A and B are shown apart, each in its own frame.
Chain A
Amino acid sequence: MDNIRNFSIIAHIDHGKSTLADRLIQFTGVSNERTFKDQILDNMDIERERGITIKSQAVALPYRALDGKEYTLNLIDTPGHVDFSYEVSRSLASCEGVLLLIDAAQGVQAQTLANLYLAMEHSLEVIPVINKIDLPSADVERVLEQIDAELGLDPDTHLKCSAKEGTGIEEILEAIVERIPPPKGSTEAPLAALIFDAQYDSYRGTVIHCRVFDGTVKSGDIIRFMYNNSTYKVEEVGHFLLLRQKRESLSAGEVGYIIAGVKTVSDVRTGDTITLNERPCSVPLPGFKEIKPVVFASIYPIASDDYEDLASSLEKYTLNDASFVYQKDSSVALGQGFRCGFLGLLHLEIVQERLEREYDLSIILSVPSVRFRFTLRDGSLIEVDNPAHYPDPSSIQESEEPYIRAAMMLPERYLGAVMKLCMDKRGVNSTLNYPAPGRAELTYEMPLAEVIYDFYDRFKSVTQGYGSFDYDLIDYRLSNLVLLDILVNGEKVDALSQIVHRERARARGLQACERLKEEIPRQMFKIAIQAAIGGEIIARTTVNAFRKDVIAKCYGGDISRKRKLLEKQKKGKKRMKMIGSVSIPQSAFLAVLKSDGD
């Protein structure tokens, strides 16, 4: 155990986390030139494109330190978005230390600070690393001052590197060995292993990623998941090089994987404790939360013929994404589909993109919603996450919506703009602290529904990317809710309905109408877009008809040319959803939740 170090790299976006990870992997010889791809840890296309890590990854780096001893350095990569903050916390809980990476030119940023706080919550050893020292604009002196003043860390403990040029890498590896404490725990104690991720392998079933805190697990053992007491027989254990590497056993302090005939990743809970059935540990490891979806939307195929394809694609998709849940649903306007739960809007967009990309589906998502609660006059309590199931208003005794506590870190200069934004979003009970000069820590209690309504984009925009934002669900609170319907040429489009706060309804309605006007192309007839509450129209816009086609000539007997042109247009039209006689493009449904100027 003394030769094991478990660590993570945390950084503000673009401060070079993935590049440094690649360098560490290269330096320790895990990857040769042939297998080396830039940014190995972000290995989904979407992750590369968006520059964020969605799934956690782990890799064991074999390292012979200057003290002559062999070490195993387990690097556990973490997702970098608020939708996945629980996954981040589980990954950090699997480590004893972190490298806090800071860009030498940009200095300490919002996420630097937020990540430092996370690491400190887990009592991790923090090694500040100043990256990009090769840049002409690098200002190491200023960063050192910031480390002292803003992070409250001893600047003498810092390291310098250029991950891009590969300098300073060995010093970092040495510091990991010297400064990050080896894991504690007892191989003799009952097994306690923390699940920080799980991935689906089509040959082996679910591959559980875990950190063993106590005990030992080997193939043949019967393990038990403590949250539901389900048991499985272990088929294989091992650790991660770039690929899985089978081993005899995994013992206290180690990071690795367990394959135990678990069919899908949804049978596994991130944060759960694995123990041995024969000799269970007395209490699970701390911090487990059953994460629940907070954002809901329905998915429909654009062509109703594609329903079966969509069903089987969702089934396959969930094999690898336990946080995504779905069930059958149907819409008057859009036909058969599925109601789905997501961790947040980013998660929703990722699911949509992956379904389209990996399963070649054309889908439409209804306007996302949170889960509301209604107490009816007959005393019953119902939860509604689908505006289509909004109860008869006359039967509602009281309505409630979920609230979150938003924790934000930002440079003081953006405080005014952020407070205004939070108040726009019905934020209450704010607290304000200054953890360092010029640096504000702001909390607000806000309705979750307001947060999914373009809060994150606007927050990033008003803080120019220097703010960090995290939230926890706190409770349900009484709220004056109404159902906002959208009518297209007089026809209600249920997939565009939203449950909104009464005071916001008019503005929301107008905004939805405006956005739809931008998204729906001109067609043969005028299209009236209306927003309504109950029977009352509260906002309207019109998409004017176009009055002339570009009539490609069809004289001289060449009839095919125009036919082919029309066939092509017809195909394009198939990517739109017909609502009555109006073609609505895919983009319109999500656009309703975005504000102007995105």
Chain B
Amino acid sequence: MNEPAGLYVHIPFCKSKCGYCNFYSIPSTADMPFFINALSAELKMYAETFSRFDTLYIGGGTPSLLAPIDLARIISELDDVFAFSTDSEVTLEVNSADCTPIYLRGARRMGINRLNIGVQAFDGAILDFLERRHSPEQSLRAFEIARGAGFDNIGLDLIYGIPGQEMESWLAGLDLAVSLNVEHLSCYQLTLEPGTPLGKRHADGEFALPDGDRQAEFFLKTSKTLEDSGYIHYEVSNFARNEGLISRHNSKYWDHTPYLGLGPSAHSFQDNRRWENHPSLPLYLEEIKMGKAPVASSETLTGEELQLESLYLGLRTKKGIHLEDFKKLHGYDLMLEKGKTLAALEKEGLVEVSGGYLRPTRAGLAVADSLALI
């Protein structure tokens, strides 16, 4: 495979943990210097196996906790070891509270050309429920600063389906985002994982989540509102103002393009093999100290597993599944094997088959998981 790979760097630090978050991070930056050194050693381990990237995504955790000098060091070391295409998409995830003009201008100068701001909500009460450490005002301010710093590709993360969230309030937040003319929006349905504080409170019966029909209402109204405003609903949770603003990095996860993940808990994929780094900073540091790749587990996918992934990932995207390619890749003719079911789903308005593609409709994206189980 010659297409450029994607590069992800996981910064495993936060000032405080948000109640819903299931990503690996620790609420103290004390080990930051050790981490930066270890990361520097880790990236060199892949100098031979990954030749060229055209995306870099620095996520976490809270990457905006990186001091400018550390951020600069990480980027420059990556640039030294790996080849990046000239038009690379370089994204930094930031917390609104960390977005100062100087920090963002610095980031821009280091080559970061895309910002993803964790806004989550424009409603203070909802932010409190989610245990976020910033206010709606800070988010708006962060956006202005980012624009001022020269960022012309900004994405916002928002969450819906939160207990106590009114539809009007949610839609007003979307309108606000649209009025800002943001380039990219990720609208996630709140999902509670068992190990998280909110997950535990939910399991204890402290609050209930909206039911399936209500979730569907959130999803469908979000899709309609944003598409009516000109955004492309290109993946279950993702919207872009135009084709060119679709997250190139995330798209690699969804079409079996290789990607390398560095840092604790980061995931990688190459040559049908998936591996995952230790979701633990101490273990990560220890393995690197011993000169080993900090890989916790790895699996080589069978043809059947690849096929299921192609199916479920493809059905989460507006682009859908190219039927001929799917057949060539997996030796499975979807139209032949599942034609009857697909026809029923098409009649139901959940998918459409046209131009050689099988695509989910808006209603289909809402049930993408089940579509993959046909």
Contact = CB atoms under 8 A, between A and B. Distances in A.
A557 B344 contact: no
A567 interface: yes
B239 interface: no
Contact of A550 (B23, B369, B371): B369
A524 B367 contact: yes
A77 B69 CA distance: 88
Interface residues of A, number: 30
B228 interface: no
Given A525-B345, A566-B312, A569-B373, A547 B368 contact: no
A563 B368 contact: no
A569 B344 CA distance: 21
Contact of A580 (B267, B344, B350, B370): B344
Contact of B253 (A546, A554, A581): A554
Residue with the highest number of chain A CB atoms closer than 10 Å, among B259, B340, B367 = B367
Nearest to B341: A581
A556 interface: yes
A69 interface: no
Given A525-B350, A559-B253, A563-B308, A549 B366 contact: yes
A552 interface: yes
Nearest to B370: A524
Contacts of B367: 524, 546-549
Interface residues of B, number: 48
A19 B353 CA distance: 67
A201 to B, nearest CB: 44
A557 B371 contact: no
Contacts, number: 104
A518 B260 CA distance: 48
B215 A548 contact: yes
B348 A525 contact: yes
B308 A581 contact: no
A559 B274 contact: yes
Contacts of A203: none
B342 to A, nearest CB: 9
B260 to A, nearest CB: 9
Interface in B183-201: 188-189, 191
Given A547-B363, A566-B312, A557 B259 contact: yes
B8 interface: yes
A551 B344 contact: no
Contacts of B261: 557
Interface string B306-341: 001100110010000000000000000000000011
B275 to A, nearest CB: 10
Contacts of B284: none
A546 B212 contact: yes
Given A524-B348, A548-B212, A566 B373 contact: yes
Contacts of B276: 558, 560
A562 interface: yes
Contacts of B305: 563, 567
Nearest to A544: B213
Contacts of A546: 212, 367, 370
24 contacts: A523-B370, A524-B345, A524-B371, A547-B367, A548-B212, A548-B213, A549-B368, A554-B313, A555-B237, A555-B250, A556-B8, A556-B23, A557-B261, A557-B266, A557-B268, A559-B253, A560-B299, A563-B305, A569-B369, A580-B340, A580-B344, A581-B340, A581-B341, A581-B345
Given A548-B216, A555-B250, 11 more contacts: A547-B367, A551-B237, A551-B369, A553-B191, A554-B313, A559-B253, A559-B274, A560-B267, A560-B299, A566-B372, A580-B340
